[in-house]
Structure 1
């Protein structure tokens, strides 16, 4: 152990020499290398995590730089994959950490290869579908995960530990309907709340890896603009009829609730269909999306024009995304503007 490098951390009574050895031996998977993911990854690398896996399907853009740590203007000009750019930056911070970057989508088909055998999973995603998938995988494999989300100036986070705490579906039984909630693309986000939530997430990871992990975890809710802050104990929050952690119904891990994608021959387009039937409120959605691009709609279809893409959205949530034949890109565009 490099005691000098981590000396201040080791002196903290919650970690100590044993906790630091646990940190050095741990492997953490960070799913999503955007705002939360990059901030969390940097803190984990500085803390001396033994191994770090970075997973992201997207590439660096100029609009990322105000809130997503680790990236530079050069990364945006090159259009580097976020996971690759993050790995390059992190390797210069701590060369002793084994870092692996994966430029791929996290789905029911890929999550087992990505996360099997890891110590903790950190949520740096921007969509509910992936969070429900992580939760299913966590329950099935007994691996804790740390949820985090930011929108505008509001943020929230929580550690879910199978067998100890409630699971994500104890709180939110089903994902919100596509288009029913804001996204960073429509509501924006400020950097301070990202760092607050990421710091909370990493603190939960360190607690899980400490010499004596806590038996109680709390849900954080904070608004950096309104200066409001509260935490809620997870004690007594477990749903005795939870479909996931009690009944062990894992539809997201099994793939039955996963959105379906189809290439449309000769049209440079991908059709995205939600995994479950939904209904889109065009009027409500158009108000939000008008901030991101040109929006027109009638009773049958909404057309959204954003840089490089055109989205045709139907009332049942089905969408045709023109401008790509890449499933990963199409899924990211749907998540960014409609929400998954």
Structure 2
């Protein structure tokens, strides 16, 4: 316990709490600014196992706030979960880390959440948060939400059977379509959101998460920090935590093409997109290709394509889903 001696000395955790933390498994969805920092904090706190899901790779624009990554990761376009695993094991060689380079859909999330004690939100959009919310409540797993943009942050913890769920709170959350890619962000806002998120995670893992429950909102630039009690916001009509839950976000009817929030990028899911099919298509077109252990990268019709080895492709410089489907058909027939 020497490694965690200062944490054990804290009365809120102690030796009993540290043993609970060390025996826990945490699933983190999204390993960008929020998720990578949460993963590092939890690894250093002694969590036994981390399960990481992310569909993206490291870019230079990430390095200003995603402190787990290095310039070499951006240069090599390392998938975020792979780079994160490497750094986390350098910090703690005994940590168990399971990674998934994948789009977080309902089947994947439910399958992984079954073995987790806690889910953490490291995403940047409402749809995926509603998916996390529905999976957590269907399986009876607690989860912690966090968000940040510009200099603002927000966070809240959710416990099935005890708190209202995220869907109950959506009508009163700040109405904004801003993202880090459109409005920017400063690193202190990330750290504030994650500090609260990981603190709630440690309270949940040590059995100390109880009423009153709050949504935390603030701005690090204006030095304004507020909390709102949420215990009375539960709705009996809620489709997730009401009297007759149907968990609508788990109905896996997502489009095979979707815009990535604020990034001028379309993601396409198509079984025809395999490594051999990409090689054949580009050989026919005489197009150069960059290969990594995790994806193939090439340019076609002024767009940059990144094709992963699981039927998933990112088309950068495009926000038209119909055009994206046309390009896929042109390439793969």
Runs of 4+ aligned structure 1 residues displaced above 2 Å come to: 173-177, 211-217, 258-262, 269-272, 305-313, 318-326
Give the length in aligned residue pairs: 279
Give the SS at the match of 1:99: strand
What do the CA deviations read for 1:48-81 (whole angstroms, capped 9, x no partner)? 0010011100000000000001100000111000
Alignment partner of 1:185 is 2:205: no
Residues 139 and 64 of structure 1: CA distance in aligned 2, closer, same or farther (over 3 Å): same
Match in the other structure for 2:248: 251
Match in the other structure for 1:135: 133
Q: Is the 8 A contact 1:135 1:145 kept in 2?
A: yes
Q: Is the 8 A contact 1:121 1:143 kept in 2?
A: yes
| TM-score of the aligned structures, taking structure 1 as reference length | 0.76
Give the SS at the match of 1:201: helix
Alignment partner of 1:55 is 2:53: yes
Alignment partner of 1:222 is 2:229: no
Match in the other structure for 1:200: 196
Alignment partner of 1:34 is 2:32: yes
Alignment partner of 1:321 is 2:324: yes
Give the SS at the match of 1:125: coil
Residues 306 and 165 of structure 1: CA distance in aligned 2, closer, same or farther (over 3 Å): farther
Residues 310 and 93 of structure 1: CA distance in aligned 2, closer, same or farther (over 3 Å): closer
Give the SS at the match of 2:218: strand
Q: Is the 8 A contact 2:257 2:325 kept in 1?
A: no
Residues 211 and 166 of structure 1: CA distance in aligned 2, closer, same or farther (over 3 Å): closer
Residues 319 and 36 of structure 1: CA distance in aligned 2, closer, same or farther (over 3 Å): farther
Match in the other structure for 1:281: none
What's the RMSD between the two structures over aligned residues?
2.6
Residues 244 and 319 of structure 1: CA distance in aligned 2, closer, same or farther (over 3 Å): farther
The partner residue of 2:101 within 60, 85, 103 is: 103
Aligned counterparts of 2:225 and 2:136: Cα–Cα separation in 1: 28
The partner residue of 1:14 within 12, 15, 27 is: 12
The partner residue of 2:90 within 80, 89, 92 is: 92
The partner residue of 1:234 within 222, 230, 237 is: 230
Aligned counterparts of 1:254 and 1:240: Cα–Cα separation in 2: 21
Aligned counterparts of 2:187 and 2:303: Cα–Cα separation in 1: 24
Residues 102 and 175 of structure 1: CA distance in aligned 2, closer, same or farther (over 3 Å): farther
Aligned counterparts of 2:228 and 2:28: Cα–Cα separation in 1: 24
Aligned counterparts of 1:142 and 1:199: Cα–Cα separation in 2: 24
Match in the other structure for 1:4: 2
List gaps (5 residues or longer) in structure 2. 259-265, 270-301, 306-315
Aligned counterparts of 2:27 and 2:148: Cα–Cα separation in 1: 19
Alignment partner of 1:67 is 2:53: no
Give the SS at the match of 1:39: helix
Instruction: Please identify which structure carries the higher helix content.
Output: 2
Residues 233 and 51 of structure 1: CA distance in aligned 2, closer, same or farther (over 3 Å): same
Q: Is the 8 A contact 2:200 2:209 kept in 1?
A: no
List gaps (5 residues or longer) in structure 1. 263-268, 273-304, 327-340
What do the CA deviations read for 1:163-221 (whole angstroms, capped 9, x no partner)? 010100101169999xx712111101110100110111000000001154433322110
